[in-house]
Amino acid sequence: MANKSKKVCYNNLMTKIDSIDSQITRMKEGIAKIKEALMNNEKSEEEICPDVAGSERAMVDALQDLCLEGLLEREPEGDA
């Protein structure tokens, strides 16, 4: 009976890990799209101030760090 309980617990844990992994993957793809958009914006014909471009890159990096920290600080849900 204890083995069945542990198996259910491990299955729940693996499901939650898969969910977190999916969220991280989606955030990583979104950040990559933002970075690509910023790089394409820099290559456009308009003149962009280097300070503005640098601050936008810093903002993307800060958002990435914030998202990852938020996931790491999140309290576990459920029985696992």
**Total count of domains within the chain:** 1
Distances (CA, A) of 12 to 16, 59, 67, 68: 6, 36, 24, 22
The answer to whether position 7 is within a domain reads yes
The answer to the question of residue 80 being in a domain is: no
Asked whether residue 79 is assigned to any structural domain, the reply reads no
With 0.75 as the threshold, say if the pTM is over it.
no
Asked if residue 68 belongs to a domain, the reply is: yes
Residue 38's contacts (CB-CB under 8 Å, 6 or more residues apart) are 53, 56, 57, 60
| Residue 38 domain boundaries | 2-73
> Per the domain annotation, does 66 fall within a domain?
yes
pLDDT digit of tens for each residue in the chain (80 aa)?
456 666 777 888 888 899 999 999 899 898 888 888 877 766 655 677 788 878 888 888 888 888 888 777 777 776 65
> Per the domain annotation, does 47 fall within a domain?
yes
Q: Compute the radius of gyration of the chain from its Cα atoms.
A: 20
